[in-house]
Amino acid sequence: MRRLTRTVAAAALATALALVGGCSSDSDKSEGGGGSGAALEKVTYLTSFGNFGRDSYAWVAKDKGFFKEAGFDVDIKPGQGTGSVIQTITGGQADFGPIDLTGGILQLGNGQAKDFVAVAAIQQRTMAAIVTVEGKNIATPKDLEGKKLADTPTSVVRNLFPTYARLAGIDGSKVTWVNGEAQGLIGMLGSGSVDGIGQFVVGQPTVEAVAKKKPVVLPYSNVMQDLYGNALITSSKIAKEKPEMVKKFTAALLKGLEYSLEHPDEAGEILKKNVPAANPGASAAELRLMAAYVRSSNSGTAIGTLDSGRVAKSIALLQGAGALKQNLTPDQIIDFNLAPKA
């Protein structure tokens, strides 16, 4: 990690010196300003779900110059959950974005989406969860019966809930779901208009900061242990036509991810600088919690890798729970030629 940190620092310093020295024309070249004469390639990137600390690594990659060094001018926009991110990318309005991989499997396997592929893992384990606060009389999954939950219609937490409910022994017909926007869910919980919300486990610090109450978390990983968390996707068209561009963008984004995990406080401040409504302290706390989900249990495995065997187990779990209408293979949703190698 120290070697990576020195490398990042050196790259950032080199970029700064180039700007101070009046070499801005070089910094706007593709291939990291390598003198090819080509302008930066414009890319639109969607966050996974609003602008919280868990997604700050994209802003870090932009702020620290990692995207520019790789030849990209990146426009970052807030996503609204797995289904929405897939639709926006396959519709051509964005180029890259993270989705919950399990949610992507559900979308693809049930004919709700197509023409996208995953190219890197962001988290090695699912962070999907139901989050409530103390005073709601919710301590176990069974306690969700008779309660009102909120989430975006296309969120993986909501779409994976029937499978979670079946495996956790919940009567899903006794749970009421209402719609909410990504940035407004915690406010709904804090106001008492709902009993719980779809959220990632790392959202605990932000929930506590906004709702002013101690969070209670029911992680999906307690009953579904083989599932990946978020994965970076692009359209099948871009993956086929621009494979080298995909690899370069992925590497720059993962560089931002690793830097953010090593410097969570700085990442929180970078997010605040770009998204004034962000809480830098809560953002940093989210990143500290997220680190355990990003890094593989195998210390020798690089960040971002995807394992075909694990993906096959995830598919089998969903099929066994009756959540998939179609049979899938791992290479139908993941382009292993573009994903980082283990």
pLDDT at 287 over 80: yes
Mean pLDDT, rounded, for 81-99: 96
Does 43 or 342 have the greater pLDDT score?
A: 43
Q: Kindly write down the DSSP assignment for every residue of 181-198, as one continuous string.
A: -GGGHHHHHHHTSSSEEE
Determine the pLDDT at residue 183.
Answer: 82
Report the chain's terminal Cα–Cα distance, integer Å: 17
Determine the pLDDT at residue 2.
Answer: 38
pLDDT at 6 over 50: no
Mean pLDDT, rounded, for 328-336: 96
For domain 42-124+227-332, the question of CATH label 3.50.50.60 is answered with: no
The pLDDT-based confidence of 297 (bands split at 50, 70, 90) is low
For the chain, what are the domain ranges?
A: 1-39, 42-124+227-332, 128-222
Query: Of 55-69, 259-273, 301-315, where does mean pLDDT reach its minimum?
Result: 301-315
The pLDDT-based confidence of 24 (bands split at 50, 70, 90) is very low
What 8-state DSSP symbol labels residue 73? E
> Number of helices (H) and strands (E), helices first, in the chain?
15, 12
pLDDT at 290 over 90: yes
Query: What is the tens place of the pLDDT at every residue in 27-67?
Result: 333 334 443 456 999 999 999 988 999 999 999 999 999 99
Backbone angles phi, psi at 219, to 5 degrees: -70, 135
Query: What is the tens place of the pLDDT at every residue in 191-214?
Result: 999 999 999 999 899 999 989 999
Determine the pLDDT at residue 37.
Answer: 54
Mean pLDDT, rounded, for 65-94: 96
Determine the pLDDT at residue 17.
Answer: 34
Query: Of 25-29, 228-232, 308-312, where does mean pLDDT reach its minimum?
Result: 25-29
Cα distance between residue 30 and residue 202, in whole Å: 35
Query: What is the tens place of the pLDDT at every residue in 229-243?
Result: 999 999 999 999 999
pLDDT at 257 over 60: yes
User: Strand pairing of 176-179 and 148-151?
Assistant: parallel
Average pLDDT, the chain: 88
Determine the pLDDT at residue 298.
Answer: 53
Percentage of the chain beyond pLDDT 70 is 87
Determine the pLDDT at residue 5.
Answer: 39
Mean pLDDT, rounded, for 272-288: 95
- Strand ranges in 33-166 using DSSP code E only, listed in sequence order: 41-46, 49-50, 72-77, 79-80, 96-100, 116-121, 128-133, 148-151
Determine the pLDDT at residue 4.
Answer: 39
pLDDT at 333 over 90: yes
Cα distance between residue 132 and residue 57, in whole Å: 26
Alpha carbon of residue 308 to chain centroid: 20
- Which of 293, 258, 246, 245 has the alpha carbon at shortest distance from 60? 258
Which residues face 151 on adjacent strands? 179
Domain 128-222 belongs to what topology? D-Maltodextrin-Binding Protein; domain 2 (3.40.190)
Query: What is the tens place of the pLDDT at every residue in 119-174?
Result: 999 999 999 999 999 999 999 999 999 999 999 988 889 989 999 999 999 999 99
Query: Of 117-126, 137-146, 177-186, 292-301, where does mean pLDDT reach its minimum?
Result: 292-301
pLDDT at 14 over 90: no
